A and B are shown apart, each in its own frame.
Chain A
Amino acid sequence: MTDLLGEDELAIEATLNGKPLKRRVKARQHLADFLREELQLTGTHLGCEYGICGACTVMIDGRVARGCLTLAAQISGKSVDTIEGLTESGKLARLQREFIARNAAQCGFCSSGMLLTAYELVRSGRSISRAEIRDFISGNMCRCTGYHAIVDAVEAVIAKNAEKGG
């Protein structure tokens, strides 16, 4: 990457929400700002811009990551999924249904990140306790719900997935 030092812009090729993405990105711009400002994918939110609150959570190569701690340039060669793509593909449908039924979201600002983190957990297929669910989502701050309903929703999806055989 030494030949790119000092460049203001870089060319990247990535997969975004299942589709090819080919763009020039500003070297300084982080992934969340890139998604929001350049691609108008505003479902990924910013709460702190230093990796604590989890509002900017996206998936990179199938694992959750902080959009604010990732430079747009770093996704070159990788596959990125956002709340919009994961909704469209239906992958979040069970979680979204259970969240809605329990009012596990109020202002909705943490929800994109919370859903993606919950998705990584339920997708693992492991059966886990409420305490472990709480632990897993402890990188996603919610100021509105107090977390109880979110844990209920995730627990319900894990239980339903187990019934249906995953």
Chain B
Amino acid sequence: MSEKASSSTGVGARIPRRELKRLLSGHGRYIDDIALPRMLHACFVRSPHPHAKIASVDVAAARGAPGVAVVFTAADINPKCEPFVGVALHRPGHRSAPQRLLAEERAVWQGQPVAVVVAESRAEAEDATELVAIEWKPLPAVGDQLQAIAPGAPVIHAELGDNIAFDFSLEKGAPATAFADADIVIEEELRFERQMAMTLETRGLIADFNPAEGSLTVIHAHQSPFQMQEVFSRHLKIPEHKIRVIAPDIGGGFGMKLNLYADEIATVVASMLLGRPVKFCADRLESFVSDSQARDHRIKCRIALNKTGEITAMEMDDISAVGAYGMPLRFNVAEGMMAITLAGAPYKFENYKGRTRSVYVNKNLIGMYRGVGMPLACVATELLTDLAAEKLGLDTVEFKRRNYWPKASLPCVTPGGQKLQNVSFHECLEKLVRLMDYDALRKEQAQLRARGVYRGIGIATFCEQTAYGPPYYGPSGASISTQDGCTLRLEPSGAVRCITSLTDQGQGTLTSVAQIVADSVGVSIEQVSVAGGDSAISPYGGGAWASRGTAIGGEAALRAGLMLKQNILALASAVTQTPADALSIADGEVINTRSGQAVISLADVGRIGYFRQDTLPADFDVQLSVSASFVANDKMYYMANGVQGSYVEVDCETGFTTMLGQWAVDDCGRVINPLLVDEQVRGGIVQGIGAALFEECIFSDDANLLNGTMADYLVPMAAEMPDIVLDHVETPEPSTRLGAKGIGEGGLIGAMGSVWVAVNDALKPLGAKVRHQPFTPERILDALARRE
């Protein structure tokens, strides 16, 4: 159960975000709101072909267009940047062709940047891009992973010999025997179409290279300023300490704004060549063809059970189409690896086989997007176990009760290699069953079925790896830091200024940090200001990704808060002649814990500490500014978990699915701010529903994108979405003082699973099965037509 908030504004309290007043009054400062003196605007010329030779590029007409400062081609930009090879060093056999910023002899995906116009305004730059004349010679394109590995398929990168980026298998126990001996085997083939984060604000940056100093400042709508500082330094050969990356207000990230983009780095090079600030903000069509994409998997999966209802084995065979190059740093193997290592994780069984292949195709690059491969693992696992329950004549919840890891087995390592220790599948399931009134819904479902109304209930259990530690990226060679840090300074007024390495794209992490600082120092939250996302002023840190901000950066803030408190008390002790261990801080005053009396205000501590050190003992060391970092050296992740439930109705005439309700019980450890946590879960859930029912990048057979607008890529709008009811279990992370795990991705992971199961549950009496996401009305009607 949640701890009582230590104050009405401290850890555990439902505190609204302070920055919302500014954002809701039109005073956000997003990248496209910012202008620097002498700033120019970049617009990229992009390949209209998925695969084509570039015979010639003629920029003469574009150069002369109104407002144009310069037009750069590959010959200008590429030599300034070390090529990228998006390969994880600790994954033997992982391969990628090197990627240069602009396409040179060939474009390998539709949307790949080829040239860049830099002009006085974006509008003039756009006009001029139409004047760049490129002679294209289209080549055969591969769009599909099965096509790409078929014999005789065009090989995208000749030096690789074939289109396989990575092929990895793992095996535990004796799966072949277990499947052979099983009483029940259920096998399914699942298909997941390409999807996108579709942040409302597109990508952008302002690169400002100062030739007099050789220094680079980048205002970057990016989730990890330190990652980009390091990338710019290493690839553009600028000393790292001369680079500053600042994240402004960001209109949504969801992992998409974590990746590396050739067009963004090319913009930096343009600034270096021009010695002036250059802004690049993608428009929505560019977003469709150049934002990193996600999913695009075909998964064969199966489960083996004995007739007494125990799972004896599972198998996953995943093949994913990862685009034309390996994504640098945020590797393209991640979705597949997570899918096969997390499949089956909540359930007790011993025998497992998993295989994942990442395959190159002539499409845009796959990168990080909320949940990564975990939603796929959840879908496969929960669909198979639901079908298993049906086969056994067991209620699906009862099946889960019997097959989850019993508490007594923990800690354990799952056959896929997941370390489970402080997880709470059973508690979450029982809480969910009561929350959604499961039994009543089943009764209603049965009654309505008798009248030809097809409703479905889907329960989905998930594990979520959160807050990765050094063992995750360290061996891969990627310079991605999994630490975060916090500097705290007591102001002369007695207020506390906090500078964190964390970034915030709307999650509210900065408010959580303020709560933690307020609590640990002993002041009210109104006395704490928080700044973040600036690589020049905060300790080094990872930023926002993998549901880590509050867990890691919050722990650093807690440490810093306790350090500052200690130093404040030391000064107060010297001034008041009271032993430090008899002092504490409450409501902005130093108090004597024995008498409860205030002995000195923080404002007086600040005044003396900064201006009247002459009144202190000669050997007293004033330290009213402290810094602390936190990282768990040996921890791969903190494992969070949850269970979600969906209630849907499928109209068998139209194929439309209506979401009647969604419930979620999540365990993210200690909840720092329930208001922010709940809304993160809700937002993720709607993305999961969108993934299951609506969202799809539609390509022709030869890899041309057919739906490059938001009229035909269907992001959930309010009318289609249900009310979402939430509850929590709190199993604190024992290895940290804060006890928080991550929460950012669980919503999507569980909802994708619960909607898959619910829609199929609705169709069970009709013998129809949908296995191809998104479950468009067309696919549901096809499933009904095919019914067995």
Contacts and interface: CB of A to CB of B under 8 A. Distances in A.
B646 to A, nearest CB: 14
A146 B23 contact: no
A102 to B, nearest CB: 8
Among B25, B27, B30, max chain A CB count under 10 A is at: B25
Interface in A19-39: 28-29, 33, 36-37
B26 A83 contact: yes
Contact of A46 (B32, B249, B724): B32
B716 to A, nearest CB: 8
A138 interface: yes
A80 to B, nearest CB: 14
Contacts of A107: 23, 199-201, 249-252, 505-506
B675 interface: yes
A85 B289 CA distance: 36
A52 B717 CA distance: 11
Given A134-B718, A141-B717, A149-B679, A50 B20 contact: no
Contacts of B724: 146, 148
Among A50, A102, A111, A135, max chain B CB count under 10 A is at: A111
Interface stretch (B294-302, B609-617, B707-715): B707-715
Contact of A96 (B25, B33, B715): B25
Given A134-B718, A148-B724, A108 B28 contact: yes
Interface residues of A, number: 58
B202 to A, nearest CB: 8
Contacts of B739: none
B24 A100 contact: yes
A112 interface: yes
Interface string A27-60: 0110001001100011111111110110100000
A160 interface: no
A164 interface: no
Interface stretch (B208-216, B378-386, B456-464, B683-691): B683-691
A149 B682 contact: yes
A112 B27 CA distance: 10
A147 B685 CA distance: 11
A126 interface: no
**Majority SS at the chain B contact face:** loop
A158 interface: no
Contact of B24 (A37, A115, A141): A115
A101 B16 contact: yes
Given A82-B26, A96-B21, A99-B20, A53 B710 contact: yes
A84 interface: yes
A144 interface: yes
Contacts of B29: 42
A138 B719 contact: yes
A110 B16 CA distance: 18
Contacts of A44: 26
B715 A141 contact: yes
A151 B26 contact: no
Contact of B679 (A41, A42, A55, A106): A106
A108 B683 contact: no
Contact of A87 (B26, B254, B506, B685): B26
Contact of B251 (A43, A100, A109, A140): A109
B685 to A, nearest CB: 6
Interface string A125-164: 0000011011101111111111111110000000000000
B32 to A, nearest CB: 7
Given A83-B26, A112-B26, A143-B200, A48 B249 contact: no
Interface string B521-557: 0000000000000000000000000000000000000
Among B23, B254, B508, max chain A CB count under 10 A is at: B23
Given A103-B679, A109-B251, A41 B21 contact: no
A105 interface: yes
Given A84-B25, A108-B20, A147 B201 contact: no
Given A106-B507, A130-B723, A47 B201 contact: yes
A139 B718 CA distance: 8
Interface string B283-314: 11000000000000000000000000000000
A85 to B, nearest CB: 9
B185 interface: no
B25 A109 contact: no
Contacts of A101: 16
Interface string B731-762: 00000000000000001000000000000000
A100 B675 CA distance: 11
Given A47-B200, A149-B679, A103 B26 contact: no
Interface string B113-151: 000000001010000000000000000000000000000
A135 B721 CA distance: 10
A103 B709 contact: no
Contacts of A52: 709-711
A37 B34 CA distance: 10
A28 B30 CA distance: 24
Contacts of B648: none
B349 to A, nearest CB: 34
Contact of A49 (B17, B201, B283, B711): B283
A99 B720 CA distance: 21
B676 interface: yes
A68 B392 CA distance: 57
A96 B26 CA distance: 11
B683 A144 contact: yes
A150 B26 contact: no
B327 interface: no
A145 B679 contact: yes
Nearest to B726: A148
B198 interface: yes
A103 B508 contact: yes
Given A146-B682, A146-B685, A141 B17 contact: no
B24 A135 contact: no
A55 B710 CA distance: 13
Nearest to B711: A52
Among B26, B249, B252, B283, max chain A CB count under 10 A is at: B26
B201 A45 contact: yes
B700 to A, nearest CB: 22
Contact of A109 (B28, B684, B685, B720): B28
Nearest to B722: A148
Contacts of A49: 283-284
A43 B26 contact: yes
Interface string A64-93: 000000000000000000111001000010
Contacts of A87: 24-26
B284 A48 contact: yes
Contacts of B23: 105, 107-108, 111
25 contacts: A29-B123, A36-B32, A41-B26, A47-B201, A48-B284, A52-B711, A92-B24, A92-B25, A100-B16, A100-B21, A103-B17, A103-B20, A105-B20, A105-B24, A105-B506, A108-B28, A115-B24, A133-B718, A141-B715, A141-B717, A146-B686, A148-B682, A148-B724, A149-B682, A151-B718
> Which 10 pairs, one residue from A and one from B, show the smallest C-beta to C-beta distance?
A43-B26, A108-B23, A106-B506, A109-B251, A107-B506, A146-B686, A83-B26, A146-B682, A42-B33, A87-B25
Interface of A: 28-29, 33, 36-37, 41-50, 52-53, 55, 82-84, 87, 92, 96, 99-103, 105-112, 115, 130-131, 133-135, 137-151
Given A49-B284, A107-B249, A108-B20, 20 more contacts: A37-B121, A44-B26, A45-B30, A50-B709, A52-B710, A99-B20, A103-B508, A105-B23, A106-B505, A107-B201, A108-B24, A112-B26, A130-B723, A131-B719, A135-B718, A138-B718, A141-B717, A142-B718, A147-B686, A148-B724
